[in-house]
Amino acid sequence: MYSTPTRHRVALVLSVCAVIAIGLGVHAIDGSAAAFVADSLYTVLVYLLLRTVFVRARLSVLALAAFAFSALIEVLQLSGLPEQWGNAFPPVRLVLGASFSAIDLVAYAIGALVIWLLDCAVLRVLSARSSRSAPPPA
């Protein structure tokens, strides 16, 4: 039987795969709403990757770190470097984007907030479930 941290990591890796698949699907849709969702998912993905590595970290710290990383990439776009790199190797655009947009920062904040709230809720449910199945204190 797998230990609890191993099971959590497996669930997180599966969540990463699901977010990547959803993100690629959303990228295939035109429109500003789809772009906003894709940007939010970018931060969700960063959060899940951080959570996979730092399983015991405070969730609020991970959410802030995911937002900060996403925002840093967005600000980097002001330099024009991600656009140049994306022109040389198009898959880079999926990770670094191409041009700065302030609305993307809002999407990142919403993505960080939503995944943080969702993760807190999941942990609350799992904690309640494990406390019910634990033997009574002696």
Predicted pLDDT at 135: 54
For residue 80, is it left (φ>0), alpha (ψ between -120 and 50) or beta?
A: left
> Quick one: 58 exposed, middle or buried, by C-beta within 10 A (0-12, 13-18, 19+)?
exposed
Predicted pLDDT at 128: 84
Predicted pLDDT at 134: 56
Predicted pLDDT at 6: 80
Predicted pLDDT at 3: 60
| 3-40 confidence digits (pLDDT tens) | 677 888 899 999 999 999 999 999 889 999 999 999 99
Name, in order, each residue with C-beta under 8 angstroms of 70's C-beta and a sequence gap of 6 or more. 39, 42, 43, 46, 108, 111, 112
Domain ranges for the chain, please list them.
4-133
Predicted pLDDT at 94: 79
Predicted pLDDT at 120: 95
Predicted pLDDT at 2: 56
* pTM score, whole prediction: 0.86
Predicted pLDDT at 131: 73
Predicted pLDDT at 21: 95
Which residues of the chain fall short of a pLDDT of 70? 1-3, 133-138
Rg value, the chain, Cα: 18
